[in-house]
Amino acid sequence: MRITDGNRYNQINYYQNALQNKLNTANNQIASGLKAEYGYQDSQVNNQNLKYGFETNTLDQAHDVAQSAYTSTLNTDKALSELSSTMEQFKTKLIQAASDVHSTTSRQAIALDLQKLKEHMINVANTSVGGEYIFGGSKVDRPPFDKAGNYYGNNENLNALIGSNNLVPYNISGQNLFLGKDVDHQKIITANIKKLNQSKLHPGIMDSYNRTQNPQEVYINAQDTLRDLIGDTDNDPSNDKPEVFYLQGVRPDGSAFKAKFALDKGYKNKADATRVQDLLDQIGKAYGNTSTNQVVQVSLNAWGEIEIRDLTPGRATLDFHMVSSEKSVDDLNDLFTSGARVSTYVKSAFVANRSLESLQSTLYPYDHRMHDIKSAFITTEDNTPATRNTPLKDILGPSVASLKFEGTRPNKPDGTIDEAPLEPLILAITPNTTMQDLMDGIKSHFGGKLDVEISNDGHLRIVDNNVRNKAHDSNKPPFDGESGFSLKITSLDAKGMPTKALPLDYADTYKQTYFSRQGAYLHSNVSQIVPKSMDYATGASTLASVMGAKITQQDYTMVLKDNNGVDVNAHLHLSPGGAFLDLPKKGGGVYHIPLYNRDDKTPTLTKPNDFTYRQLMDAMTLAFNFSNSDPKEYEQAQSSAPSQASKDAFMSLLKQADDRVDVRLNDRGQVQVHDKMHSKTPMQFMFYDNKASDFSPESLRRDTPAIRLNANNAPTIDTPHIHFFKQLDQVIEAVSEGIDRPDSLQGYGPEIRNIGIQNGIALIDHLSDHIEKIIASNGAHSRNFSHVMRRNEVLKNQVESIRADTTGTDVAQTYNKFAQLRNNYDASLASASKINQMSLTNYM
């Protein structure tokens, strides 16, 4: 009886507890909507629930990140739209400035408006959202641009993690926006000396059929004759000598070249005359044009200036310089000292090398009263044209003790030639000797009826007023009679020996030019570009990569004043035996110093093809610090073979120099020198290859490439590379100065290289187009993140649907089950109650 009652009790208790657990489970499933809320309930279902929960959270996070990046692109788009709108205003005002109706006051007002628009664009470029600057690259904690438009950010992307290993950039860096590169644009360069039709400008001299016509300023065109371009001394075109052209430049592929060719200027029948177009075609051939393929387009602009366009978009190495004369020489210096007529096509306000011993006067072909000294007298310190009161020491340098004047007398009062011999004049030069003393010396020594003048660009002109009209023997124009005057100026040192101290003309020379000086800085003007990538060179780039050719043997000259203003002549030698810098020894001889690579652990002599810009700039740094270093250290650094002692001495010299001078490439690939010791540096620097003036057949045949750091080259109208605010500055300067086109202003100064308002309009079109491309790129970023957000929302819905199917419970089914369990549980409770109510009485 007890056993039976106990078993029944245990059985009822077991079923009651089991039903209770099932009821609780069903109740929890109804409440949570999940098949299993805890791992012990169903490990497989719980694992699936955790997995899909993680996926949902990841998608939520990616959506939030994409939303934040999308908002950033919208902020960027707003700033870019403001830039685009401002550029439209800029171009509108620039077109207004191109009109000739403006007075100086109204033009200056437009220039001021343009300057304010530029400043507004710099403010837009410094836009910050939430304390982060949107155009600084990864440097978001500081303004990326200063007031001058210099960039201090970087080119790094900010990326949004929108999925596993899925980084998507969302920013536009200031490097891409304001210093980028457009591979769909071509480089265009222009000569900057306007050319007029000489036959129409001087009909009384050159045109036998229209001698009485008034002179007309008509720009040369491609169908005019070569004689119309070059000019002549008489009206007989059949006696003209061929014109020899000396062309230097860089081809589209990056290779530097020289070319020398002659074209017939004279003709008997004008229909057979050489045309200007023939000259343009010949220039094109020198750059690589053939009968079946053109790499450049050579043309004349509306002002008679040569323009060259690279026909391959994206390339940026094109360069051009040319002079011409009736005289053929193998060394250009001989051309400049001979007194031959020289026609120039490119000019720049760079101080030129003092590399001539003598200068010969040249007869002005259209007025035989006038004789010109071709080279300009420019001060070396301030780069300003000489005036009557300018000391000659400021022009010629300290090595010149005297000037020798020799030549022939001017005409007699009756216009005839005075053949009486004339002894040379020696003019001693003291610190107080001025240009006025030179001019007075010429006038008094040669006698006659001479006037000596100096132009506002530093050129000396001597006028013999006794030259007459050839036809009428009268003192009436044209003054085309014979002139007997000639002048040769020779610079002499303290021993009375000729010394190279007279300057090349700033339009004649190509490479032999000094860097520009601004305060504590020296700046070059030639960007070093690697032709294969069209990227600017860096310190690690090799010279050979920029030349686009292998280097076998090259020698360069550095003419400079060091950190203390001491004159230094240094030489760089690149040879199979290594790279060496020669610095002058006191008392004669040179220090022959190997140029080691800073990064090489083992001392090694650098081969020419491995020589880097960092090593070139190290050589410059040593030269700039020349007078500050101990000669013993130069002795220790010398070595014809690599050694650790030599390298240690080299590095010691370099460390000392680095404390005073910093030489580096700027963001446009141009060499920049910073004098750390002076606010106005006494330093000067010129760098050129030793064959710069060599036009011998051997030099032309080899076509040896060379590096140019600073050059009197053709100004650039447009290039694939963008330097946004500096290009705007050039356009604003054109408006402010009233430079409508290249060579529209007379004089000497930085404005010589300004491309002018007309070309500025084309440049602004390019800059506006560049901004539109960046807007499109940012729009692509924005759409990408918009797609990401929509995709994540869809994926999240799908994951939640699958999660519900896999881990969710069927509420209706579970409720039915719960009801059944409840009925069973109630029945169990009723049975237990009845049993509990039983007693012995019930059984009896």
| The pLDDT of residue 837 | 63
Phi, psi values for residue 77, rounded to 5°: -60, -40
Question: Alpha-carbon distance 186 to 161, whole Å?
Answer: 37
**Residue that the structure tokens 């060496």 belong to:** 580
The first and second tokens of residue 791, run together, are: 């995709």
pLDDT at residue 163, as a whole number: 72
Q: Which two tokens stand for residue 707?
A: 């590096």
Q: Is the dihedral of CA 445, 451, 456, 460 positive or negative?
A: negative
Residues 6+ apart with CB under 8 A from 726: 149, 668
Question: Which residues, given as ranges, of the chain have pLDDT below 50?
Answer: 1-3
Q: How far apart are CA 313 and CA 291, in angstroms?
A: 21
Of 193, 198, 282, 299, nearest in space to 240 by CA: 198
For residue 476 the two structure tokens come to 């009436």
CA–CA dist 838, 844 (Å, integer): 11
Q: How far apart are CA 6 and CA 11, in angstroms?
A: 9
Are 260 and 275 spatial neighbours (Cβ–Cβ below 8 Å)?
no
**DSSP-derived 3-state class of residue 81:** helix
Q: For the chain, what is the total number of helices (H) and then of strands (E)?
A: 20, 30
Query: Cα–Cα distances in Å, from 383 out to 33, 386, 394?
Result: 88, 9, 10
Q: Which residues are registered as beta bridge partners of 582?
A: 571, 592
Those residues with Cβ within 8 angstroms of residue 610's Cβ, 6 or more apart along the chain or in another chain: 542, 544, 597
β 521-523/529-530 pair status: unpaired
E-strand ranges in 422-512 read 425-428, 450-454, 460-464, 486-492
Q: Please tell me the number of Cα atoms within 13 Å of 685 on its side-chain side.
A: 34
* pLDDT at residue number 820: 67
Task: For 322, list phi and psi in degrees, rounded to 5.
Answer: -155, 145
- Residues 536-574 have pLDDT tens digits of 999 999 999 999 888 889 999 999 999 999 999 999 999
**Dihedral angle computed from the Cα positions of residues 487, 488, 494 and 500, in that order, rounded to the nearest 10 degrees:** 140
Report the SS3 class of residue 530: strand
Residue 843 CB-density burial (10 A; 0-12 exposed, 13-18 middle, 19+ buried): exposed
Helical H segments across 479-584, by residue range: 543-547
The pLDDT, as a whole number, for residue 185 is: 95
Token pair, residue 273, equals: 């005359």
> Are 409 and 395 within 8 A, CB to CB?
no
State the pLDDT at residue 8: 62
Between CA 458 and CA 746 the distance in angstroms is 12
End-to-end CA separation in angstroms for the chain = 13
The answer for residues whose C-beta is within 8 angstroms of residue 838's C-beta and 6 or more apart is none
**784 near 168, Cβ under 8 Å?**
yes
Q: Which residues pair with 132 in a beta bridge?
A: 129
Dihedral sign computed on CA atoms, order 373, 374, 379, 382: positive
At 703, which amino acid appears?
A: D
Rounded CA gap, 286 and 732, in Å? 35
**pLDDT value at residue 52:** 63
User: For the chain, how are helix, strand and coil distributed in percent, rounded to 5?
Assistant: 40, 20, 40
β-bridge partners, 403: 427, 491
The reply to whether the predicted model has a pTM over 0.85 is yes
Neighbouring C-alpha atoms within 13 Å toward the C-beta of 559: 19
- Run of H or E including 629: none
Cα separation of 586 and 590, whole Å?
8
Please count the other Cβ atoms lying within 10 Å of the Cβ belonging to residue 680. 9
Q: Is 365 helix (H, G, I), strand (E, B) or coil?
A: coil
